[in-house]
A and B are shown apart, each in its own frame.
Chain A
Amino acid sequence: MLAQTTEPRPNAERAKALIPRLEQLNQTVKGSTASPQLIDVTLKIGVTYAAFLVDVRDGNPALDAVNVPELLDRTEEHCNIYEIQFPSIAKGAGA
């Protein structure tokens, strides 16, 4: 289930807010005791979201071809998954 945005916020503003969240989750995973595969795939997928956020932030006109709000929802969901569920994963891996 994706989080619904209640008031329309400009895409660039949403992207700017998501950049530090994505950076933070990447750092958390990198510094964790999770398995190397989990860390690796997190960063490889992270590049995709990062490239998207930078494009939205800078207003790349080519993005008119895609549904930016929906893709921002997906990016936000990615952050949510890590912020909510990763802490217990990291604990489990350290045990």
Chain B
Amino acid sequence: MNNQEQSFLQKVNDNFSQFAKGIITSPEKSFALAATPLLGAAVAYGAVYAAGVITGNPEAVTSAYFHINNPESSMALAALKGELPFDAANKAFQLVVGGFGTGAIAAGLAKVAQAFQSLSEETDHLKRENQLLKREFANERALDSGDPQNSESLRAKFNKGLENVQTRTERQQHEQATRVSSGPSPR
């Protein structure tokens, strides 16, 4: 990407960040959005790709292209467990967890694909991601059912993942705050 493209995408991303904030403003609101799971999922994906491509953050890039290295795993599930290398991505997915692996996402994607021919590859990718997630959920449930004590294990994993992310985010925010205050801001 040349400089001109880079600064153009910066503008696109600044606007997109505001848009995303308007959708995922707080955990409470994201639950209110459970009836539009596709929108939540799409925001999470968009934010991860934008962070990866525009900021060039290597952890964000790895997260955004998770499916290339892990073709048989769901990126969303990895995020829900706090396993993606980019914490903002983990967080975004955790906020919109309600709708994943559901028929509502598939139905919404069909409508988007119909209205937007330009996005057929993206909707196909999300459809596949949704199917993978459904399958992995089913596998985990099957494993869980063998041991009644583990029946809450998936939920427990999410909670653990959430805690991990929280801790790491706080640490990073602290590091960033110290770094920014010690020098001139890049601009």
Contacts and interface: CB of A to CB of B under 8 A. Distances in A.
Partners in one complex: yes
Interface of A: 19, 22-23, 26-27, 30, 34-35, 37-38, 40-55, 57-58, 60-63, 65-67, 70-71, 74-75, 77-78, 81-82, 85-86, 88-89, 92-93
A71 B53 contact: no
Instruction: Pick the most buried of A27, A30, A38, A63: most chain B CB atoms within 10 A of its CB.
Output: A38
8 contacts: A27-B117, A34-B5, A44-B46, A51-B36, A51-B39, A53-B115, A71-B19, A92-B2
Interface of B: 1-2, 4-5, 8-9, 11-13, 15-16, 18-20, 22-23, 25, 29, 32-36, 38-39, 42-43, 45-46, 49-50, 53-54, 64, 108, 111-112, 115-119, 121-123, 126
Main secondary structure of the interface of B (DSSP, over half): helix
Contact of A54 (B5, B18, B108, B118): B108
A46 B85 CA distance: 24
Nearest to B23: A66
Of A30, A38, A47, A78, the most chain B CB neighbours within 10 A belong to A47
- Per DSSP, chain A at the interface is helix
B19 A23 contact: no
Given A40-B49, A62-B36, A46 B119 contact: yes
B22 A74 contact: yes
Contacts of A53: 115
A40 B53 contact: yes
Top-6 shortest CB links A-B: A62-B35, A26-B118, A65-B32, A44-B49, A48-B46, A74-B19
Nearest to B43: A48
A45 B118 contact: no
Contact of A41 (B11, B18, B50, B108): B50
B51 to A, nearest CB: 10
A77 B19 CA distance: 10
A63 to B, nearest CB: 7
Contact of B116 (A50, A61, A67): A50
A28 to B, nearest CB: 9
